Chain A
Amino acid sequence: MPMLRGFLVLVLFYILGESLRLLLALPVSGGVLGMVLITFTQMVKGSVSEDLAQASQGLIAVLVLLIMPGVVGVFFTANQFSGQWLAVAVALLAGTFLSVLTTLLLMKALTARGVSDGE
């Protein structure tokens, strides 16, 4: 029961985010807006209820399960872009390698300096 109560809160925040997105014609998804809203609400409240903590932990644990149906689609729509596979593969592999490298180096350099500022 507590988990379902928490789930209701998450669903309500999602609906709130989705409504905001539609009303203001924002390019951001309702889920992300809901995430921002719920984070700010907790910050104002100053604590997270046990219900909400349980429900969010439960959902996060099955995140991979929720992406799987979309992932499977790759195998069934693969034929559409034959001929461009090399460009796609190299762009994804090399591009991701470079962007991970960029992120890690930037964060490493910036936090090393941050430590001497005494956080």
Chain B
Amino acid sequence: MVSELFARFQALPDTLTATPILAIALTLGAFFAGNWLFSRIGRPLWLPPVVLSACLLSGVIAVLAIDYQAYQQGARWLTVLLGPATVALGIPLYQQMHHIRAMWRPIVVTLPIAATMAAVYAVVIGWALGATPEVLASLAPKSVTAPIAIGITEQLGGSVPLMMGGLLITGVVATLFVDLLARLLPVKDERILGFALGLNGHAIGTARAFEISHTAGAFASLGMGLTGVFTALILPLVFRL
């Protein structure tokens, strides 16, 4: 009787992962738990909610022995919204257009240099430390928002999972470094901070920028969008050389 119940309990994850609903529940649950934990431990800058949530979620997936591919399949109901969410970034961009117009000159000069250097620094350091071409191709688009970066990595012959890992780490440390350097340099202009967050830290930096202010968020959207477009156009050309 008890063993029968236990066997049925063991089969539960497999049965439930047959539909996307478990993956959605787990992701949503981890998202709220991560946010709750984040505010409970005093909102530390070095440990953003996305890392807390991701660790909780990975833990639960591992403990329940859910197949990662099956989870990913179910979670597509959420990740598919990343497309419309990227489009949605155009709205704060438009609403803050007067700020952006006032700063178009520094933006036009900074963007090509900073976006190129974001890739160059990583590739040169990785190359100097003996990383293989496949790894270098996965590191190059590290500051580009996920949907574009996937396309770039495939084009360059890199590994998509490694690139996604690099993307996450870059997003988190870019957020930390922007906060740190903003105090050291010092830079107080929310527009500059937002732009740096979006340019270097893609969607994770942009999410952080929206915590600072609406204006910072708009500049982050701009930085992320421009970096994505610029890198997608330039990187495949540079890598061929």
- Which of A98, A108, A111 lies in contact with B117, CB distance below 8 A? A98
Query: Quick check: is B151 within 8 A (CB to CB) of the other chain?
Result: yes
Among B49, B139, B196, find the residue whose CB has the most chain A CB atoms closer than 10 A.
Answer: B196
B200 within 8 A of A: yes
Tell whether A31 pairs with B86 under 8 Å between CB atoms, given A48-B95, A106-B113.
yes
- Whether the Cβ atoms of B31 and A68 lie closer than 8 Å is yes
Near A by CB (< 8 A), chain B positions 88-144 give 88-95, 97, 102-103, 105-106, 109-110, 113-114, 117-118, 121-123, 125-126, 129-132, 135, 139, 142-143
Interface residues of chain B: helix, strand, loop or mixed (majority)? helix
With both beta carbons as reference points, the residue of chain B lying nearest to A69 in the complex is identified as B75
Closest to A39 in B: B90
Cα distance A75–B71 when bound, in Å?
13
Contacts of B114 in A (CB 8 A): 99, 102-103, 106
Interface size on A, residues (CB 8 A): 77
- Whether B22 sits at the interface, judged by CB under 8 Å, is no
Interface residue? B213 (CB, 8 A): no
* Whole-angstrom CA separation of A45 from B204 in the bound complex: 30
Instruction: Give CA–CA (A83, B110) in the complex, Å.
Output: 35
The CA of A114 and the CA of B189, in the complex, are separated in Å by: 13
Return the chain A residue nearest B80 by Cβ.
A66
Is B228's CB under 8 angstroms from A32's CB?
Answer: yes
Given known A-B contacts A35-B86, A103-B200, A92 and B169 have beta carbons under 8 A apart: yes
Q: Given known contacts A32-B228, A99-B143, is B106 in contact with A114 (CB within 8 Å)? A: yes
Answer whether residue A19 sits at the interface, using C-beta atoms and an 8 A cutoff. no
Q: Is the CB of B139 within 8 A of A60?
A: no
Q: Are A42 and B94 in contact (CB under 8 A)?
A: yes
A-B contacts counted at CB < 8 A amount to: 309
Contacts of B30 in A (CB 8 A): 68
Give 1 or 0 for each of B64-80: 1 = CB within 8 Å of chain A CB: 00001001100110110
Contact partner of A32 (CB less than 8 A), chosen from B110, B139, B225, is B225
Contacts of A100 in B (CB 8 A): 174, 177-178, 181, 196, 200
Rounded to whole angstroms, the CA-CA distance of A43 and B96 in the bound complex is 11
Q: Does A22 contact B (CB under 8 A)?
A: no
CB within 8 Å for A95 and B125 given contacts A64-B49, A110-B109: yes
> Are B135 and A87 in touch, CB under 8 angstroms?
yes
Q: Are A29 and B228 interface neighbours, CB within 8 A? A: yes
* A65 nearest CB neighbor, chain B only: B31
CB of A87 within 8 A of CB of B121, answer no
Q: How far is the CA of A104 from the CA of B179 in the complex (A)?
A: 11
A119 CB, min distance to chain B CBs, angstroms: 5
User: What residues make up the interface of A, taking CB atoms closer than 8 Å to B?
Assistant: 7, 10-11, 13-14, 17-18, 27-32, 34-39, 42-43, 48, 52-53, 55-57, 59-78, 80-81, 84, 86-108, 110-111, 114, 119
